Amino acid sequence: MSRAIDAEGLTHRFGDGETAKPVLLDLTLSVEAGEIVLLTGPSGSGKTTLLTLVGGLRAVQDGRCTVLGTELAGATEAERVALRRRIGFIFQHHNLLGFLSARQNVAMALEVDPSLSEQERLDRADLALDAVGLSDKREAYPSTLSGGQRQRVAIARALVHEPGIVLADEPTAALDGRTGGEAMRLLRRLAKDRGRTILLVTHDPRILDIADRVVAMEDGRIVETARA
């Protein structure tokens, strides 16, 4: 199997000089294409920092990190932007725009593809909403949806452009246990249907069962890895 994510010797610091403390320390992690990996670990251990590096949201300082075939060490901003378009992001707070309907929020993720007309984008958004069970909520605004429905819209938005990788940062933190579990099982099913790779940060023990592998971080390093 080919590797979707291949990070080796990643070290990252915030701040300069004497006060700079390493947040990631010589971290090595690989994720195979099609694999679902959950990343756990105490608050402050560097999980979000790792996700932002893998997602091309921040420049690599030290070490190397290849994502979907793009080497991020030394990559230009333009290369990182191009990579970001091939990634689906899901955040703790769904980050939907309140003044757009569910279908408009999802369709927005397709604006990176200039070859699509607006009608094509809206049609594909509708299909993505169908896939997450929200066919009847296309026109709904986020404020009228439940927390679980909003997170399902966010899942549709993360998948609609057929990303090579989905990166999720504590996607169930704002949901109750049952709702969060249902949303993540849905994400797993949709990802497995299409062979998509997922790297998902979570504190939520109730969703560990969606993983192919669980990786634990501590103080900027991977400390444990277990096959599910």
Binding residues for ligand ADP, rule: CB under 6 A, are 14, 23, 41, 43-49
CB of 91 to ligand ADP, least distance (A): 12
Stretches 40-48, 93-101, 144-152, 172-180: which one binds Mg ion (CB under 5 A)?
A: 40-48
Nearer to ligand ADP, 23 or 96 (CB): 23
- The single residue among 12, 29, 36, 48 that binds Mg ion, judged by CB under 5 A, is 48
User: Is residue 40 part of the contact set for Mg ion (CB under 5 A)?
Assistant: no
For residue 182, give both structure tokens.
């249902």
Rounded to the nearest 10 degrees, the angle between the axes of helix 147-159 and helix 118-131 is 130
Please choose, from the candidates 206, 162, 172, 204, the residue with its C-alpha nearest in 3D space to the C-alpha of residue 39.
Answer: 204
Q: What is each CA distance from 184 to 28, 36, 113, 172, in whole angstroms?
A: 26, 11, 27, 8
- 55 contact, one of ligand ADP, Mg ion, none, CB 5-8 Å limit per kind: none
**What single-letter amino acid sits at 84?**
R
Q: How far is CA 146 from the centre of its chain?
A: 21
Q: Which is nearer to Mg ion, 131 or 158 (CB)?
A: 158
Which option in ligand ADP, Mg ion, none does residue 177 bind, with CB closer than 5 to 8 A by kind?
Answer: none
- Minimum CB–partner distance for residue 182 and ligand ADP (Å): 24
Q: Structure tokens of 78?
A: 């333009």
Distance CA 24, CA 222 (A): 10
User: Choosing among ligand ADP, Mg ion, none, which partner's interface includes residue 23 (Cβ < 5 to 8 Å by kind)?
Assistant: ligand ADP
Q: Could you tell me the smallest distance in angstroms from the CB atom of residue 22 to ligand ADP?
A: 9
The two counts, helices (H) then strands (E), for the chain are 6, 10
